[in-house]
Amino acid sequence: MPITVAIVFLLITVGSVVFHFWSPWWWTEVASNWGGMDDTIILTFWITGFVFVVICLFVSYCVWKFAYKKERRAEYKPEDKKLEARLTWITTLGVAALLAPGLVVWNSYVTVPENAYKVEVFAYQWGWKYRLPGNDGILGKTDIRYINDENPFGLILEDPNGKDDRLVDGDELHLLLDRPVKFELRTIDVLHNFYVPQFRGKMDMVPGIITYYWITPTRTGDFEVLCAEYCGSGHYAMRGRVIVDKEQDYKKWEAKQITFEKMLAKNKNNNNLQLAKSSK
Amino acid sequence: MSDEYEHKIEAKSDYVSDASSVSTPDIDAVPESELPDQDLYHSHSWWTTYVFSQDAKYIGIQYALTAIGTGLLGLVLSWIMRIQLAFPGLGWLEPAAYYQFVTMHGMIMVIYLLTALFLGGFGNLLIPLMCGSRDMAFPYVNMLSYWAFVVAVLVLLASFFVPGGPTGAGWTLYPPQAITAGTPGSDMGIILMLISLILFVAGFTMGGLNYIITVLQLRARGMTLMRLPLTIWGIFTATVLAMLAFPALLVGCLMMTLDSLIGTSFFMPAMVSLGEKLSYDGGSPILFQHLFWFFGHPEVYIVALPAFGIVSDLLSVHARKTIFGYRMMVWAIVGIGALSFFVWAHHMYVSGMNPWFGFFFATTTLIIAVPTAIKVYNWILTLWKGNIQLSLPMLFSLAFIVTFLNGGLTGLFLGNVTVDVPLSDTYFVVAHFHMVMGIAPILVVFGAIYHWYPLITGRMMDETLGKIHFWITFVGSYAIYFPMHYQGFVGVPRRYFEIYDSPYIETSTLLLNQFITIAALIVGAAQLVFLYNLITSVRLGKKAEKNPWKANSLEWQTPQMPPEHGNWGKETPKVYRWAYDFSVPGAKEDYIPQNQPPSEIIGAKVEKT
Amino acid sequence: MSKAKNIFGLLAEKPWEKGQIESDNKHEGQTLSLSKYKVGLRTIMAVSIVLFSLFIVAYSDRMLVSDWKNMPEPWLLWLNTGILILSSIVFYLTENYSKKDLYERTKNGLYFIGFLAYAFLIGQLIVWYQLMSTGYYATTNVANAFFYLFTTLHGLHLIGGIYFWGKTTAKFLKKNNDKKDINHQIEICGTYWHFLLAVWIVLFGLMLSS
């Protein structure tokens, strides 16, 4: 019996390691500059994996070696200060080795480069919209009170920076390869989270404030956007697309997006048309 | 650390001494207590004996059964969810129902099962018995505590039957979605949930008052705090945490109830919900998250610390060995408890709070890993050179070590702020917390039930059924949650009703989903074996001898087993040693109960290393 | 034996060592030399302090948002505060009377305390009424909501206090009771009264200062 138990514990340990190295389930190929996050995970895997295996093997060994015998007595040893101190120090070192690189990467994650291109990601129940800053490179100010059918982003009409902002029609965002981009995350209703698995980055969107994170796309491709913060019944269906383009394709797409000014003008015409129609 | 000392008692051949007649006064003498014996409430009618009982043992059983009953509902909900995830084609759930089940499953398991079971159940059963008291300090308040819990459970269950159904806000109940129209159960359901939580907190505070005061003030003669079994240390520290952490939940619940019912804006910002501008303005959703996790993180340890304590005792008794590093274990429990109030925002790295907090909370979180690791080392060092009986409690404890180790190590991933960014809100998180605060504590619960069942019923549970239950539960739940981490790596987000059409998720991931679901159904079914064993052993179980595991702690030393009202007959016990004198060199038996007078021990000669 | 020891010294004890065993065997099994009711009251007060502290933190956090509009402070609140202070003073005196065994004075003291407590609660309700009739509803601004919330919670604490005051008074009037017991109970009730006064002064001060 003890030997069986020991073997099962051993098998679970070995099985876990085998599964880790040979199962097909692993992360998607990274498409941003956050390869550092993957590296930290790998480092964490080696350290924690080592601890896991050693302790499990130790348990299996004890179960087999120190199985109950009536005539035997266990050792009487209330404590061993030296051993405990040693283990404490080793653990502290291991933990520090995990933490230090993590904090370095986090520092660069929260420090946005100054030349980063700003894009507003606009979330609502349950979909995505985007706004590009236009030629002045500045996103116009917004206020939720300004939101109406003609001004779906709630841009403050008096703010001149908003006039040339490009409003993306549809839930498809294009990004330029190798250009750092800062996502300015905004939601008009509940919490959401802008998440592209291949980019690794993530941040909640909170009504009332603008949150952010930044990435540099490092390979072209077509990626899916998921909402990663539960936001109600439609949470699972809140998907979008991000496409990373080379310069030429990107320019083509950008030119197609209409500016806020044009949109206002167009809406006015529509309204006038409708007024004209209804007065007939 | 090399000073040696000896017990005064030398070996006295094989002569078995008799309690009073041979005791030498200078060894056994303990001055009479200056404190009066506890007043006991004696019940007079059927109602006050069996329903509104004021006997802590009985309240403990009531708590445990209510909690387990509620937990079974949580288990069934998880089956339904897993089937939806693996076989979305069956289409037997609406998204709204799925989210409602997710929410109720989470809340039931964390609060109404684990917290109530460990503190209300094991706390009530074991505190008076292990401390050597006759009952809790305030038995009447203790009774109220249980009935407040019952009402809380009933209010929770009632939410299934109101229009709109129970809340589907996720167990974290984040505003604004918790109370706005896009979320299922956002009017009646959430209100009932909040009321139920408020009742639970009120009831728990009454119970917690009892646990704290009984441990501090009503112990037996000679029972110093450092002689207490680690079970009591775990439950006591967890209770202190709960008393300090639950107010945060209460504050959050009260303010959200007002936001929802009368339209204040504590947490609710200006928003456009599904095309309609709401009248809220200026509230801070992140404030709620801070309050919630200021409760929520200690809550993890409110569940874990009693499990730590209990498993330490199970390991020690069934390995016939002194727990290794008792003092270090106590320090770790107290240290983890204190630190747990400084790590809450590690649940909020990507919540939109000031990202610079990340540095502080990542550091504190990883610091808490050190005392936790020490506990694991001490558990396995207790096995080293032990005399390990592979009884059911021992098997469950071993399984706990592996499961908890796995879950604890993945905690190092999520606590390290950078690693958390890609993994948060994915199945990695789901796998992590189920491993560490779902399966691991539940394994301890099972071990504890098999261990203390004879104390409650006077009979043993069936060993064969127990082993079947053990192997399926342990291996099965490992098979559920270990692969689930890898779904998280792939990037499968949690709380998704279905994910099958995502381009980056390969079909093999869906196969894995089906495997996990099948494993979950099997593990769930194995719990029926346990329930059958639990129920039938009351009548059919083998009669247990007194102190069947040959344990040292006081709960096994009552004059009757199961203990009667008042626990100790005429006189409360006198305690002569700590709870871990197993395999003392020279002693005839490999255990020395805490209340055995020194004169009765044959040939004990203790050497300290 | 059971004097409160330095907590670190206590945690450093080695319960398996001979010297420790000998001194441990004489231990009374009680950690604090207080009655269980006193420890109970302290525990409740600790929980209450955490509760109100968290509310204060929430208040300070929420105050920073621009939509915050301060509320007027009705003069009646000052009167209510005065009533509460007076009831605390009377309670202090009553504790002394009861220790000195002055039956009549203690009785009058207890009655007066009850009267003041009810007067305070009614006073608070009138403040509510005044505020609402001038348009300061909980929904108008979150500052008002906090005011109503704080006063309600404080009031509920006081109602709990009145319940125990009632029990204490009833016990006191049953002349044949144990004197020591009654003194003890009045003392505990008094401590709670002073505690509630302190809580109110902190809350009132907080609302005044913002």
| C-alpha–C-alpha distance, residues B436 and B397, integer Å | 14
Res A273: pLDDT = 53
Residue pair B399/B371 in contact (Cβ under 8 Å)? The answer is no
- Residue of chain A whose Cα is closest to the Cα of B323: A78
Per-window interface: C 82-121 vs B, CB < 8 A: none
Q: What does the pLDDT profile of chain A (280 residues) look like in tens digits?
A: 789 999 999 999 999 999 999 988 888 899 999 999 999 999 999 999 999 999 999 999 999 999 999 888 999 999 999 999 999 999 999 999 999 999 999 999 999 999 999 999 999 998 999 999 988 888 999 998 888 888 888 898 888 888 889 999 788 999 999 999 999 999 999 999 999 999 999 999 999 999 999 999 999 999 999 999 999 999 999 999 999 999 999 999 998 888 888 888 877 766 555 554 554 4
Residue among C18, C24, C47 minimizing CB distance to B227: C24
Closest-CA residue to A163 (of A268, A256, A261, A254): A261
Q: Which residues in chain C are closer than 8 Å to B208, comparing Cβ atoms?
A: 43
The pLDDT tens digits for B582-595 are 999 888 888 999 99
pTM tops 0.95: no
C4 and C93 share a domain?
Answer: no
Q: Which residues in chain C are closer than 8 Å to B224, comparing Cβ atoms?
A: 13, 15, 24, 27
- Residue of chain A whose Cα is closest to the Cα of B426: A228
ipTM over 0.90: yes
Q: How many angstroms away from the CA of B199 is the closest CA of chain C?
A: 15
Cα B168 to Cα B100, B160, B165, B190, distances in angstroms: 4, 11, 9, 8
* Total structural domains within chain C: 2
Residues 6+ positions from B485 with CB-CB distance below 8 Å: B410, B427, B428, B431, B432
| C-alpha–C-alpha distance, residues B454 and B603, integer Å | 30
Res C5: pLDDT = 56
Res B32: pLDDT = 65
Q: Tell me whether residues C62 and B287 touch, CB distance under 8 A.
A: yes
Instruction: Give Cα C111 distance to the centre of its chain.
Output: 19
Residue pair C204/C158 in contact (Cβ under 8 Å)? The answer is no
Residue of B2, B26, B217 to mutate for C, most C C-beta atoms under 10 A: B217
Closest-CA residue to A122 (of A93, A100, A151, A97): A151
The alpha carbon torsion through C177, C182, C185, C189 (nearest 10 deg) reads 120
Residue B605 — very low, low, confident or very high, per pLDDT cuts 50/70/90?
A: low
DSSP string, B531-544: HHHHHHHHHHSPBP
Q: Which residues in chain B are closer than 8 Å to C24, comparing Cβ atoms?
A: 222, 224, 226-227, 575
**What stretches of A69-126 adopt beta strand conformation (E)?**
117-124
Res A158: pLDDT = 87
The arithmetic mean of pLDDT across residues B147-153, rounded, is 97
Q: Where are the alpha helices (DSSP H) in B435-496?
A: 440-457, 463-490
| C-alpha–C-alpha distance, residues B128 and C185, integer Å | 25
The tokens for C16 are 């398996």
The pLDDT tens digits for B239-270 are 999 999 999 999 999 999 999 999 999 999 99
Q: How many angstroms away from the CA of B550 is the closest CA of chain C?
A: 19
Q: Tell me whether residues A235 and B410 touch, CB distance under 8 A.
A: no
The CATH number of the structural domain formed by A117-275 is 2.60.40.420
Phi, psi values for residue A121, rounded to 5°: -100, 125
**What stretches of chain A adopt beta strand conformation (E)?**
117-124, 127-132, 166-168, 172-176, 181-187, 192-195, 204-205, 211-215, 221-227, 239-245, 258-259
| C-alpha–C-alpha distance, residues A154 and A87, integer Å | 58
B12 has pLDDT over 60: no
Q: Is A241 on the interface with B (CB under 8 A)?
A: no
B276 has pLDDT over 90: no
C103 and C85 share a domain?
Answer: yes
Q: Which residues in chain B are closer than 8 Å to C25, comparing Cβ atoms?
A: 30, 222, 574-576
Per-window interface: B 267-296 vs A, CB < 8 A: 269-274, 277, 282-286
The pLDDT tens digits for B371-411 are 999 999 999 999 999 999 999 999 999 999 999 999 999 99
C21 and C44 share a domain?
Answer: no
Residue found under tokens 């029609």: A169
Q: Is C125 on the interface with B (CB under 8 A)?
A: no
C19 and C41 share a domain?
Answer: no
Res A271: pLDDT = 59
Per-window interface: A 159-188 vs B, CB < 8 A: 185, 188
Q: Which residues in chain B are closer than 8 Å to C21, comparing Cβ atoms?
A: 576-577
| C-alpha–C-alpha distance, residues B436 and B443, integer Å | 11
C29 and C51 share a domain?
Answer: no
The arithmetic mean of pLDDT across residues C187-205, rounded, is 94
Provide the residue range defining the domain that includes C8: 1-33
Residue found under tokens 């291109």: A117
The pLDDT tens digits for B191-203 are 999 999 999 999 9
- Residue of chain B whose Cα is closest to the Cα of C21: B577
Phi, psi values for residue A142, rounded to 5°: -130, 160
Angle, helices B188-217 vs B139-158, to 10°: value is 160
Closest-CA residue to B57 (of B561, B479, B439): B561
Residue of C50, C69, C146 to mutate for B, most B C-beta atoms under 10 A: C50
Residue pair B182/A125 in contact (Cβ under 8 Å)? The answer is yes
C44 and C146 share a domain?
Answer: yes
Q: Where are the domains of chain A?
A: 2-67+81-110, 117-275
C19 and C97 share a domain?
Answer: no
Angle, helices C36-63 vs B285-318, to 10°: value is 140
Report helix, strand or coil for B60. helix
**What stretches of C4-113 adopt beta strand conformation (E)?**
none
DSSP string, B40-58: -----SHIIIIIS---HHH
Residue among B258, B284, B581 minimizing CB distance to C149: B258
Provide the b/e sequence for B423-443 (b: ≥16 CB within 10 Å). Answer: bbbbbbbbbbbbbbbbbbbbb
Res B226: pLDDT = 94
Report helix, strand or coil for A111. coil
Cα C97 to Cα B345, B485, C30, C90, C182, distances in angstroms: 51, 68, 31, 10, 12
Residue found under tokens 């008076």: B128
C43 and C131 share a domain?
Answer: yes
What letter would DSSP give residue B552?
-
Residue B603 — very low, low, confident or very high, per pLDDT cuts 50/70/90?
A: low
